[in-house]
Amino acid sequence: MPQAIEVRKVPIHSVADASELTKLIDDGVIAADRVIAIIGKTEGNGGVNDYTRIIADRAFREVLVEKGADPAAVKEIPIVWSGGTDGVISPHATIFATTDAEPTDDKRLTVGFAMSEVLLPEDIGRTAMVTKVADAVKVAMERAGITDVADVHYVQTKTPLLTLSTIEDAKSRGETVFTEDTLYSMDVSNGGTALGIAVALGEIDMPTDEQVLKDRSLYSAVASCSSGVELDRAQVVVVGNATGVGGRYRIGHAVMEDALDQDGLWDAIRSAGLDLPDRPHTSDLDGRVVNLFLKCETSADGKVRGRRNAMLDDSDVHWHRQIKAAVGGVAAAVTGDPAVFVSVSAAHQGPEGGGPVAAIVDLG
């Protein structure tokens, strides 16, 4: 049986700062050798060359080793950084650690982790990627003690995208790649990964190569996929609820139907177990929302609720940054806290123009 989970959100005060993780350990809230996953936002550009993710990764791993965790074990901890804190989004990290708690009959938060087989450049955005990711999701579910896919509420992944060097590697072996546009390959990697999650959870049947990034009716309601240059496999973190693990926390999910859908955020919080009035207000949360985790995407028709916007036509500021800032503002208005996890490039993650939302709450 998996152990109970303690989960805390901490601010990041500068690019290389992990001082709040140090405080949690020094105060005895968590133990360094019991940290099992970290998911956070860094303040870089969110693009292919966003090295703030690597800097933050190093800072947090160094603290865990300094505080007594085994260096070899620390290397294997999934730490997923999403770059870009556009608008009011504040840099932060959500830290998951095992803790001792009495088992309960009520379902409580559980976390499982797995790594996929190596993803070759020619796999990205194709069924080979979908299959490898789906296999890893099933392993992570098993490790989380989840037997019913309905108890999976959030699957956070990190996968490789394409770079000039990996594209050349594929060509040198006589292989082709989905795209040679490295920034677009972020969407491709995220979309292929999301389809793998959807297949593993029975949300869709196995897609064809031709459907990847084309058939947007295929999506996962719980996938949150990020990609970067710092790995060659899929890191998969499955977060859900299980009976018997104990602890104070629960997770739930819903979807935003579009970029302004506050009801989707409130529905995710309700799904996690908080009772809310019909017309909720931030004050109704009483500080019990640990964090919201969202994916967002600009609608391909260039509209929100029938009104035209110019994000897809803007040559100065990429739409990734604009939609992230907009949805971050909506989420922060609900929670009253700008430290929300909002990630862009949501191909096959939630409905077209919207995205999945997961909420972790403290039930006391």
Burial class (CB in 10 A: 0-12, 13-18, 19+), 306: exposed
Could you give the CA distance from residue 336 to residue 282 in angstroms, rounded to a whole number? 6
Mean pLDDT value across the chain = 96
Nearest to 190 by CA among 167, 157, 214, 220: 157
Q: How confident is the model at residue 104 (pLDDT cuts 50, 70, 90)?
A: confident
> Is the Cβ–Cβ distance between 89 and 117 less than 8 Å?
no
**Would you state the pLDDT for residue 49?**
86
147: Cβ–Cβ under 8 A, 6 or more apart, which residues?
Answer: none
Q: How is residue 46 annotated by DSSP?
A: S
pLDDT (tens digit per residue) in 258-284: 999 999 999 999 999 999 999 999 999
Is 271 a catalytic site residue? Answer: no
Residue 58, phi-psi category: left (phi > 0), alpha (psi -120 to 50), beta (remainder): alpha
Distance, first Cα to last Cα, the chain: 22
Could you give the CA distance from residue 173 to residue 129 in angstroms, rounded to a whole number? 18
Nearest to 158 by CA among 58, 40, 79, 95: 79
Q: Which of 82, 116, 189, 226 is catalytic?
A: 226
% of the chain beyond a pLDDT of 70:
100
Q: Which of 9, 132, 138, 158 is catalytic?
A: 158
Between 103 and 6, whose confidence is greater? 6
Q: In sequence order, what are the beta bridge partners of 291?
A: 360
What is the phi/psi pair of residue 18, to 5°?
-135, 25
Is 158 a catalytic site residue? Answer: yes
Estimate the share of the chain in helix, then strand, then coil, as percent rounded to the nearest 5: 35, 25, 40
**Would you state the pLDDT for residue 105?**
86
Longest dimension (CA), the chain: 60
